[in-house]
Amino acid sequence: MTLPEARDAFLRHLELERALSPLTVAAYGRDLDGFRAFLVEKRGAEPAPAKIDAALVRGFLASLFGTHDARSISRKLSALRTFFRFCVRRGEAVADPTARVRPPRRRKPLPRALSVDDTFRVVEEVQRPRPALEARDRALYEVLYGAGLRVSECCAVDVGDVTREPGGALVRVRRGKGGKQRIVPLGSKAVDAIDRWLVLRADLAPRSDALFVNARGGRLTPRSVQRQLAASAARLGLEGVTPHALRHSFATHLLDGGVDLRSIQELLGHASVSSTQIYTKVSLEHLTKVYDQAHPHARKLIK
């Protein structure tokens, strides 16, 4: 069976036997056509499926770099893998040439950090119909940003985990990632917000150990925090604000303020400093943007 014949048989299989949508079948067809065009340009002919090896597949993927992103290249490799597995099952190929071909590594997007002004707006401009819930959310956001906690860690904090110190307080994180514990300082604003919340919290959950509780007195869940924070930020015209964005902002703002990476690593509870180094990229991106907006020569270049 020639490559065009195998292609057509494969697409009929997708349409009739697997009942895929016409758009999906067409997408597979485009990916195979692109591979066929590469083979014709590279070899001057279309080899039969059994004659195609891993080197040709890798060459095809390499030809896509620069014009396609990693996600698109991975999708094309997946289409080829599905096609050649079909050919092997039908006896048109002895082995799958894509079996040992790895997809390209995708670049992880940089974590999103809010500006200092936007962070303060999110933390301070809380509006809730009930004073108790407004005080709770203010304290919650102050702890998320002020201590850089993961949302799961914040929800797991008990009242007894907060200990007072001169000029602030310490919060013990008992359920960190990997079961690790750590102690993180809290600033005076977070302490004041917690104190205001504790006065009103007593009526909601007199018997609960949880620092942050819901309107029924149960421990607040990460999902509830995500939902409420997104709603609060949306009222301020900010989209995509998550508890983790406050954690990223905490780390980025400390780095901008001159705090060393090792200290930020300890505060965040990262097992390795390599996990913390991503914030140097975030900070550099922020500084570049500030430079472009503020420096006179940069402004001239932009114009």
Q: Which of 7, 136, 253, 270 is catalytic?
A: 270
Instruction: Catalytic residue, from 177, 180, 235, 299: name it.
Output: 177
Under DSSP, the state recorded for 161 is: G
Count other Cβ atoms within 10 Å, centred on residue 67. 8
Q: pLDDT tens-digit profile of 146-159?
A: 889 999 999 999 99
pLDDT of residue 152: 92
pLDDT at 38: 94
* 148: Cβ contacts below 8 Å, ≥ 6 apart: 184, 246, 247, 250, 251, 254, 267, 268
Asked if residue 295 has pLDDT above 60, the reply is no
Identify the structural domains of the chain with CATH numbers, from first to last. Answer: 3-89 (1.10.150), 116-296 (1.10.443.10)
Q: What percent of the chain has pLDDT over 70?
A: 88
Question: Is 269:250 a contact under the CB 8 Å cutoff?
Answer: no
The catalytically annotated residue of 136, 150, 201, 253 is: 150
Q: Which of 24-38, 84-98, 161-175, 203-217 has the lowest mean pLDDT?
A: 161-175
> Choosing from 201, 247, 248, 253, which is the catalytic residue?
247
Q: Which of 279, 281, 286, 303 is labelled catalytic?
A: 279
> What pLDDT score does 43 carry?
81
Please tell me what DSSP assigns to residue 184. Answer: E
Q: Active site residue: 36, 68, 244, 286, which one?
A: 244
207 catalytically annotated: no
pTM of the model: 0.59
Phi-psi region of 167 (alpha: psi -120 to 50; beta: other; left: phi over 0): left
Tens-digit pLDDT profile for residues 212-249: 999 889 999 999 999 999 999 999 999 889 999 999 89
Asked if 132 and 200 touch (Cβ cutoff 8 Å), the reply is yes
295 among known catalytic residues: no
Residue 300: the pLDDT is 46
Of residues 99 and 290, more confidence is placed in: 99
pLDDT greater than 70 at residue 280: no
Do residues 250 and 147 make contact, with C-beta atoms less than 8 angstroms apart? yes
Binning pLDDT at 50, 70 and 90, where does residue 302 land? very low
Which ranges constitute the DSSP H helices of 157-213? 188-204
279 is catalytic: yes
Q: Which residues pair with 168 in a beta bridge?
A: 165
Q: Which residue has the tokens 């990632």?
A: 177
For 136, 144, 176, the CA distances from 271, given in Å and listed in that order, are 31, 20, 11
Over residues 252-262, the mean pLDDT reads 82
